[in-house]
Amino acid sequence: MARLEGSTDLWVDHLLNDAGVKLDYQSSRIKNIDEALHTGSKRLNGKPGYPEYVGVVKDFLLVIEDKSSLDDHVFTKDDVITTDDPKIVPDFALNGALHLFWIRV
Rounded Cα distance, 22 and 96, in Å = 21
Rounded Cα distance, 25 and 70, in Å = 21
The confidence score (pLDDT) of residue 1 equals: 37
In tens digits, the chain (105 residues) has pLDDT values of 346 777 888 999 999 999 999 999 999 999 988 888 888 887 878 888 888 999 999 999 898 888 888 899 899 988 988 887 888 888 898 888 887 766 544
Rg (CA), the chain: 13
Q: Judge whether 70 and 9 are in contact, CB under 8 Å.
A: no
The confidence score (pLDDT) of residue 39 equals: 85
Burial (Cβ within 10 Å: 0-12, 13-18, ≥19) of residue 6? exposed
pTM listed for this prediction: 0.75
